[in-house]
Amino acid sequence: MKKKILIALSFLLIGSGFIYAQNRTIQLETDFFVNSMDRNYVAPDFVDKYDGSPYNSTTFLLGNIYINNELTKSDVAMRYNIYSDEMQVKETLQTEDKDITALIKSPDISVTILKDKFVYVPKGKGLEKGGYYQVETTGKTYSLYKKLGKEYFEASKAKTSFERDVPAKFEDRTSYYIHFSNGGMVFLPKNKKKRYKAFGESEALVKAYAKERNLDITKEKDLRRVIVYLDNKKSITQ
């Protein structure tokens, strides 16, 4: 299986036309990737002008692609389309946008874009649907994952002379999850009280640590410290 993925990745990055080959073996290899998107790669039917961005970066940045945590391709031009939850790839930073391709959404394939690591988590074990998650911390038992989201608002016309037209826009919607070593995911609500409760049997331990260190678990930097502490604590007791 890994050999087939490696072959398919090579086809992707050189823009191979064999994606559409009738040969079944080649088709199985290239099924790991979407070679050409038959839609607008911003999002369907969007107007030309809008505020904000559907991407993590409007420009492509260099990154690496991993298969089963092993480096497969380095210095690849990539960007994450947050709105469509799609990891877009070009052969080089100079390649025209019309030649954009996309990685298939597979838990076997992960990427780093600069210093940010993204993994694909399939639905199940706490998730109603699969998606890309940014890895904030990695532990033996507990890790912190961040889900980047974008909400799109359509443009609106002024109804009176005292109002003005409002352009279409994207707004960030970020959420956090505890990722367990068994693949399970637990959503962390924004409300502080509910976020503590999401830790289940570790709620008291987390509260005590946060109080001792004067941490606010609704803030990302403090939440990261809590997850690292909890993972270290769990590792010691095992």
DSSP per-residue string spanning 81-108 = ETTTTEEEEESSTTS-GGG-EEE---TT
Of 78 and 98, the structure prediction assigns the larger pLDDT to 78
Whether 28 is in a domain gets the answer: no
pLDDT of residue 9: 52
In a shared domain, residues 158 and 212: no
Q: Beta-carbon neighbour count of residue 174 at 10 Å?
A: 13
In a shared domain, residues 171 and 193: no
Whether 226 is in a domain gets the answer: yes
Residues 6+ apart with CB under 8 A from 114: 61, 62, 63
In a shared domain, residues 97 and 44: yes
Q: Which of 2, 39, 5, 12 is nearest to 102 (CA)?
A: 12
Provide the percentage of residues in the chain whose pLDDT is more than 90.
Answer: 54
In a shared domain, residues 126 and 160: yes
Whether 93 is in a domain gets the answer: yes
Whether 16 is in a domain gets the answer: no
Whether 63 is in a domain gets the answer: yes
In a shared domain, residues 77 and 41: yes
In a shared domain, residues 165 and 194: no
Provide the token pair at 49: 């002008």
pLDDT of residue 187: 96
Cα 206 to Cα 229: distance, rounded to the nearest angstrom? 9
* pLDDT (average), residues 118-137: 93
* pLDDT (average), residues 142-149: 97
pLDDT of residue 26: 31
Give the chain's mean pLDDT.
Answer: 82
Least confident segment among 28-37, 106-115, 141-150, 155-164: 28-37
Amino acid at 123: K
Whether 127 is in a domain gets the answer: yes
Tell me phi and psi for residue 172, to 5 degrees: -70, 140
Contact 128, 115 (CB under 8 A): no
* pLDDT (average), residues 6-20: 42
pLDDT of residue 28: 29
In a shared domain, residues 166 and 198: no
Whether 14 is in a domain gets the answer: no
Domain range for 226 is: 189-238
In a shared domain, residues 71 and 172: yes
Cα 238 to Cα 227: distance, rounded to the nearest angstrom? 17
Cα 25 to Cα 10: distance, rounded to the nearest angstrom? 15
In a shared domain, residues 64 and 117: yes
pTM summary value: 0.80
Q: Beta-carbon neighbour count of residue 122 at 10 Å?
A: 13
Residue 126 pLDDT greater than 80, yes or no = yes
Cα 56 to Cα 175: distance, rounded to the nearest angstrom? 15
In a shared domain, residues 177 and 231: no
Contact 89, 77 (CB under 8 A): yes
Number of domains comprising the chain? 2
Residue 111 pLDDT greater than 60, yes or no = yes
How many CA atoms, within 13 angstroms, populate the side-chain half-sphere of residue 87? 29
**pLDDT band per the 50, 70, 90 thresholds, residue 178:** very high
Cα 60 to Cα 208: distance, rounded to the nearest angstrom? 43
* pLDDT (average), residues 3-16: 46
**pLDDT band per the 50, 70, 90 thresholds, residue 235:** low
Whether 116 is in a domain gets the answer: yes
